[in-house]
Amino acid sequence: MNDYLIMALVGLLFVVLGYLSARSKPNAVLGVRLPATYADPEVWRKTNQKCAQIMYILGPVISVVSLLFYFTGTPPEIGGGYLGFGLLAVVVLMGVYLYFYSKNLLEKVLAQPGATTVPTNQNAGTSQAAVILLLIMGITVVVLGILMICSHAGTSLGIRAGHVFRDAATWHKVNTVGGIGDIIIGAFFTFYFARFIPGVKNPRTFYRAVFSFVAAIIVWAIVSAIYAYIV
């Protein structure tokens, strides 16, 4: 049942991301990053505002449906399938819609007499909104680490190696170690990313920080998986 609570939080995250996207400047992390949106600042602004409007609706729907499944006791293997498939379908449809929406906007801009476009990706990765997104990601990793420590065998959240999945004591031991690692990584990078507010002047510094964050998560995931098999 914890899966439904996690999906409810995902719905709230959609609202937050929509809010940040609508107010973001062109960057390499946050927002609708398409050729058309990078080609013109006005196309970027309108497309991300449209994306935010969709996410303001989609997020609460995900949260409400997840909580309904939770309180009605719907088995995760049933409700989770509906939620997962529905979310995937909506995200794909939203991506297709925004692609053609931004393309249509750019065509209208170029159709105006004497119109020129100013590429918006020259300073990608330097906006304050992108830094805020990284902070959210760091905090999310901390929260996931806490949830892993508190999780029970058989749930979808956690390190699910064969024997770990079948034994409650081993599950708790392995996921406690994995969760502590996630908390440390998430907390460290959250404080590290906070240094970048209100923005990153050097895009390379930004990219190195993002790469280090992703690399640390991947490496720890591999280490946790190896530990799960040898414990």
List, for residues 33-69, the tens digit of each pLDDT value. Answer: 887 888 888 889 999 999 999 999 999 998 998 888 8
Residue 117 pLDDT > 50, yes or no? yes
Separation between Cα atoms, residue 17 and residue 51, nearest integer Å: 10
Closest to 60 (Cα-Cα) out of 1, 18, 2, 3: 18
| pLDDT score at 27 | 72
- Looking at residues 67-87, what average pLDDT do you find? 77
Rg value, the chain, Cα: 20
> What type of residue sits at position 5?
L
Pair of tokens at residue 226: 């190896």
Q: Which residue has the higher pLDDT, 222 or 161?
A: 222
The sign of the dihedral angle between the CA atoms of 58, 61, 65, 71 is: positive
